[in-house]
Amino acid sequence: MKLGIVGLPNVGKSTLFNAITNAGAQSANYPFCTIEPNVGMVAVPDKRLEKLRDMYEPNKFTPATIEFVDIAGLVRGASKGEGLGNKFLSNIREVDAVVHVVRCFEDGDIVHVEGSIDPQRDIETIDLELILSDLEVLDRRLDKTRKLLKADKKYQGELDFFERVRAALESGQSARSVECDEEEAELLSSVSLLTNKPIIFAANLSEEDFKSGVEGNRFFRAVQEAAEREHAAVLPICAQTEAEISELAPEEKELFLADMGLTESGLDRLITACYSLLGLISFLTAGKDECRAWTIKKGTRAPQAAGRIHTDFERGFIRAEVIGFDELMECGTMAAAKDKGLLRSEGKEYVMRDGDIVLFRFNV
């Protein structure tokens, strides 16, 4: 899973990205690796997995990971090639979801490219670039559909649908906000439009505003309104504070957060929010050798989940031995859970749940 951090210049993208990299570098539990200067892999914090590690003391501890890409350089005119615009747009095309950092902090020393703090305008500026790029892509698809229609009438529905999407884009709406049935949604995702990607607005607030809460904050409210219009999620953060937190040792970090009345850092919240935005859950495997979290889409059935570990597991799937995390904790050990008959044997149709601890049985 890959997330792209976008936003206008000087809104706090790099600060957030550095906070993410730092947090990983500081944490022995959740190591981080930098793949390229602007690409980093970060572990998904998971208290359940930590508990399993305490229980099994495994040789290997492997949390689920997500990749963050700092996509700097989006400016007004990017879709027309301003400031290497097209390169940045193609970077966005490669990610699964977008984190759009919106500046909500005032600071006279830090220039705003548009001269003032105005979240709504900033969001529209970025949206416009993405929409213009989408229009180009969609027009190519429309041409193709029109040609197909000449040979076969069945393409009329597709053409009508894409024209409806085009009209929405023309009027400044994102593709995400177009009402679709299941078939149309599939059609839409076959075009790979930037404005159809899941998005979280990260409202980057000043430390004071963040501390005093977002209620009544007009900048945050503006981001929230945009998010509602766009079918997007929204999360308040303070990138600067995150950067500070990320430099602390784990014990200090907890104290610092407690001091702010928080139990988890903004980064942890961001990662969790991205996970749910993308409809992802984790199942866990646990043993002396390794305790590990695996990412799957909500609704995944047992054989496909097994396939995440190895294609052979999916092909030769027999059954899954499953126990919920809480059940295991109540029993204390896997052996006690087995004695109580809590370890369930599930077949091909079983839909995996978040936090399931699984052992797959398969034929080779």
> Which residues of this protein are in contact with ligand GDP, per CB under 6 A?
7, 9-15, 72, 105, 107, 110, 204, 206, 238-240
Between 240 and 300, CB nearer to ligand GDP: 240
Cα separation, 197 vs 278, in Å, equals 10
User: What are the C-alpha distances in Å from 41 to residues 2, 35, 44?
Assistant: 9, 7, 10
The DSSP H or E segment spanning 209 is helix 207-212
Q: Which amino acid is at 232?
A: A
Between 12 and 303, CB nearer to ligand GDP: 12
Nearest alpha-carbon partner for 193 in 279, 94, 93, 71: 93
Tokens of 118: 């105005």
CA angle 103, 104, 107 (to 5 degrees): 85
CB of 242 to ligand GDP, least distance (A): 9
Contact call for residues 172 and 205 (beta carbons, < 8 A): no
Between 145 and 240, CB nearer to ligand GDP: 240
- Residue 327: how many CB atoms within 10 A of its CB? 16
Backbone angles phi, psi at 163, to 5 degrees: -70, -35
Between 12 and 45, CB nearer to ligand GDP: 12
- Residue 84: how many CB atoms within 10 A of its CB? 13
Between 124 and 327, CB nearer to ligand GDP: 124
For helices 85-93 and 119-151, the axis angle rounded to 10 degrees is: 70
Contact call for residues 362 and 303 (beta carbons, < 8 A): no
Between 88 and 313, CB nearer to ligand GDP: 88
Binding-site residue set: 10-15
Between 173 and 240, CB nearer to ligand GDP: 240
CB of 243 to ligand GDP, least distance (A): 8
Per DSSP, the residues of 33-101 read EEEETTEEEEEPP-HHHHHHHHHH--SEEE--EEEEEE-----TTGGGTGGGHHHHHHHHHT-SEEEEE
Binding-site residue set for ATP: 10-15
Tokens of 40: 């980093």
Between 14 and 29, CB nearer to ligand GDP: 14
Cα separation, 338 vs 53, in Å, equals 19
- Exposure b/e, 204-230, CB count within 10 A at least 16 = b: bbbeebbeeebeebebbbbbbebbeeb
CB of 220 to ligand GDP, least distance (A): 13
- Residue 80: how many CB atoms within 10 A of its CB? 11
Number of residues assigned to the chain: 364
CB of 111 to ligand GDP, least distance (A): 9
